[in-house]
Amino acid sequence: MIQNLKTLSLAGALLAGTFLSHAAFAEDRPNITVALQSMGTAGTLDTSDNGGTAARKYQNMIFEQLIELDLSDPNLRARPGLATEWKWLNDTMLEVKLRHGVKFHNGDEMKADDVVFSFSDERYGRLPEQVKAREAGQTTFTHADGTKGIVPPAITAANRKSEWPLLKSVEKVDDYTVRFVMEKATLDTEARLARVNYAAIISKRGFQEAKSWADYALHPVATGPYKVVGVDQGSAIHLVSHDDYWGGKPPIAKLDFMVVPEAASRVNGLMSGEYDIVSDLGPDQVPLLKNTEDFDVVGGPVANIRFIALDTNNGPLKNKLIRQALSHSIDRDTIVNSLWGGMTAVPQGFQHKLFGDLFVEDFKSPAYDPELAKKLLAEAGYKGEKITYRVHNDYYPNELTVAQFDLDNLRKIGFNIDFSVIDNPNDPAPDRMMADLSNTAYFAYPVALLANNCPYGSYNTKTNPKSGMWQNDEFDKLCDVLNTSTDKTEVKKSFARALEIIEAEDPAMVVLHQNAILYGKRADIQWKPSAMFVMDFRPGSFSIKK
C-alpha cells in the first residue's frame, strides 16, 4: 500500500486526500450500540401497533410530533416541535403553523398534506374499503381511482377511537398551515398532539408507496434524527443518521439497538465493550458498574406506574371484597425502600405530577393493612380458591424480585396464589386474574393513564369484551367528562372520583410503585435519560468526552 501511494499522481494524491478527509470526518461521529430488554411488538416499529414501553426507547428517534415534550426537563414541558406555533381560532378549531424545511427520511419536505394524512382514516385503516379488505384477510385495498393502498391491522383502527375521541378532521389551509377541527375544544387537545402514539407525523408518499403494512411497519418514513436501514425481527433495529434533520446533524453516525433479554448479559456486554449503553438495570447491578472508572449508571423515575391489573371476569376476583383485600395486602414502602434502594417512589395513586394542577394532592392508594385485608377476605367468604398471578420475565426492571415479594405478602394474608412467569401476562385467557403491567403518562392529562380502562380502552369489558377485564358505569361517565369537559374544576373533581373507584371502591388494579429506568453506559459518554422511556440521541443530547 505504501509503494502504491508513492506512485500516485498529484491529481490522484489530491483525490485520495479528499477521500481521507471525508473518512476522517465520518469518524468524528461514533457508531453506538445500545442493548435493550425488548423492542416491543416484533415485526413492527410503527407507533400505532407497537405501543409498549419498550418501543418508546427508540421510536422517538424515528418519529416526531407537531408539539414535543422537552426531554431534558424533569417536568416534560411542552414546546414547539414540527409546528412553530398554534392557536385556537374558536371553540372547535386549532390552527397550527408548520416548520419550514423539515425533511422526511426519503428526502421529501414535510408539508400540510403529510400532516393531514398522518391523522386520516386511511393512515389508521378506517376507510370502509380497508375494513372490508381486512375482514377478507387482504393486505391491500383499491382506492376509488383504481390505485392500490395498504391495510393497517385492526388494533390500529380500533385504538384510534379512544386516542382521538373528539377529533372530527384535520384540514389543509396552505402548504404550511393546518387546522384541527374538534367536536369540542377539550383541555387535552394540545397535550395529545405531543404524544408519539397517534400523533406522529409520517410521509404520505412513504406510506402510500409501501407494498404492504408489514413492509411499511418495518420501514416507516418520518422526520426523526435517525432513519431505519434494517430490522432483524425481534432482535435488532439498525438506524443511521438523518443528516438532513431540521434540528441539526445528529451526533451518532450509526445507531444500533440490540435486543438482549437477560439483564446480566446486557451488563456483561457493556463491560466487554460489545455495547456502549445498556437499559433496564436492576438495583442490584448498580454497584457493579458504579464502582469502576470505566462505567457509570444514570437514570431514575419515569412517568410510568407499575401495577397489578385485576380481571373481574374470572374466578374469585369477580368478588369486589376480594379485590379490595388485594389492595391492602402489599407493602409498597418496602418495595421502594428495600427492593429499589430508594431509587423510586410510591406514587400518590394512579396519577403523575406531569398532570400539573389536575394532580389530586390529597389522594393516596389504599394503605398496606394486613388485618383489614384478612377481614375483607373473611367477609367475602373466601375459602382458598386459586387466584392466578402472571408476570413477565423481567420485562420491567426488577419485575421478578418485586413480584416474588408481592407473592409472599399475598400468601401471608391467606390468598392461594398460582404464580407463573409467562411471555404475555395480559393474554385474555380464561384463567387470567392478576396480570403484572404498567401504564405511562404519555401526555399531561389524566386520561393518559386511565384510557385503557375508559370506554374503547383495551381493559374496558363493555366496549372491548374480547380482551377487557373490568368495567364500571360511573367510571365510564367520568371518562366522558375527562374527555369532553373544558372546566378544570369539573375535570379535577371527576378525576379524583375516578381514582377512588378504580383503586378502592371497585378495584381494577393494585398500584405498586413508580417505575424507574436505570442505564449503564461507558463513562466517557455524556448522556442523560429523560423522565420518559425515551432515549434521546438528538443534537445537543449526546457527546463523548475527548
Is residue 16 situated within a structural domain? no
Evaluate if residue 298 carries a pLDDT over 50: yes
Average pLDDT of 465-488?
A: 94
Among 216, 246, 264, give the residue marking a domain's end.
216
Average pLDDT of the segment spanning 220-243: 96
Same domain? For 512 and 531 the reply is no
pLDDT at site 161: 75
C-alpha cell at 234: 425481534
pLDDT given for residue 4 in this prediction? 32
Domain end marker among 170, 190, 216: 216
pLDDT confidence bin for 73, thresholds 50/70/90: confident
- The mean pLDDT of 120-147, rounded to a whole number, is 94
- Is the pLDDT reported for residue 10 higher than 70? no
Tell me, what CATH number does 103's domain have? 3.90.76.10
Domain final residue pick, 216, 246, 278? 216
Query: Per-residue pLDDT for 3 more than 90?
Result: no
Q: Is the pLDDT of residue 159 over 80?
A: no
What global pTM score does this model have? 0.86
- Domain with 178, as residue range(s), is 63-216
Q: Say what the pLDDT of residue 162 is.
A: 74
Is the pLDDT at 134 greater than 80? The verdict is yes
Given a cut of 70, whether residue 209 has pLDDT beyond it is yes
Q: What is the CATH classification number for the domain harbouring 283?
A: 3.40.190.10
CA distance 146 to 141: 9
Higher-scoring residue by pLDDT: 444, 86:
86
Are 255 and 161 in the same domain? no
How many angstroms separate the CA atoms of 512 and 402, rounded?
A: 9
List, for residues 249-292, the tens digit of each pLDDT value.
999 999 999 999 999 999 999 999 999 999 999 999 999 998 89
Q: Judge whether 464 lies within some domain.
A: yes
- Residue 328 has what DSSP assignment? T
DSSP state of 416: E
Residue 9 falls inside a structural domain? no
Domain with residue 397: its CATH number is: 3.10.105.10
pLDDT of residue 374: 98
Q: What pLDDT is stored for residue 24 in this prediction?
A: 40
| Torsion 536-537-538-542 (CA) sign | positive
pLDDT digits (tens, 9 = 90+) for 259-271: 999 999 999 999 9
What is the chain's mean pLDDT, rounded?
92
Q: What percent of the chain has pLDDT over 90?
A: 79
Question: Are 533 and 490 in a shared domain?
Answer: no
Give 500: exposed, middle or buried? Use CB within 10 Å, 0-12, 13-18, 19+: middle
Q: Is 374 exposed, middle or buried (0-12, 13-18, 19+ CB in 10 A)?
A: middle
The number of folded domains in the chain is 3
Q: Is residue 164 assigned to a domain?
A: yes
Is 13 domain-assigned? no
**What strands, in cross-sheet order, belong to the sheet with 416-421?**
226-232, 236-241, 254-259, 31-36, 277-278, 509-522, 295-310, 434-440, 386-391, 416-421
Tens of pLDDT, residue by residue over 109-133, are: 999 999 999 999 999 999 999 999 9
Statement: residue 18 has pLDDT above 60 = no
Same domain? For 415 and 456 the reply is yes
CA atoms within 13 A on the CB side of 227: 20
Burial of 52 (0-12, 13-18, 19+ CB in 10 A): middle
Q: Are residues 236 and 285 in the same domain?
A: yes
Residue 482 has pLDDT above 60, yes or no: yes
Using the predicted structure, report yes or no on whether residue 5 has a pLDDT greater than 60. no
Confidence of residue 84 (pLDDT cuts 50, 70, 90): very high
- Please give the average per-residue pLDDT across 92-100, as a whole number: 97
pLDDT interval class at 22 (50, 70, 90): very low
Q: Classify residue 459: in a domain, yes or no.
A: yes
Q: What is the pLDDT of residues 317-326, one digit of tens each?
A: 999 999 999 9
In a domain, 466, yes or no: yes
User: Does one domain contain both 448 and 541?
Assistant: no
Same domain, residue pair 442 and 530: no
Q: How confident is the model at residue 382 (pLDDT cuts 50, 70, 90)?
A: very high
Does residue 386 sit in the same domain as residue 427?
A: yes
Residues 344 and 484 in one domain: yes
Average pLDDT score over residue span 220-234? 96
Same domain for 84 and 157, yes or no, is yes
Whether residues 475 and 492 share a domain: the answer is: yes
pLDDT in tens, 498-541: 999 999 999 999 999 999 999 999 999 999 999 988 999 999 99
> Do residues 319 and 378 make contact, with C-beta atoms less than 8 angstroms apart?
no
CA distance 245 to 223: 7
Residue 246 forms part of a structural domain: yes
Structure-block grid coordinates of residue 221:
418514513
Q: Mark whether 42 and 95 lie in a shared domain.
A: no
The predicted structure's pLDDT at residue 299:
94
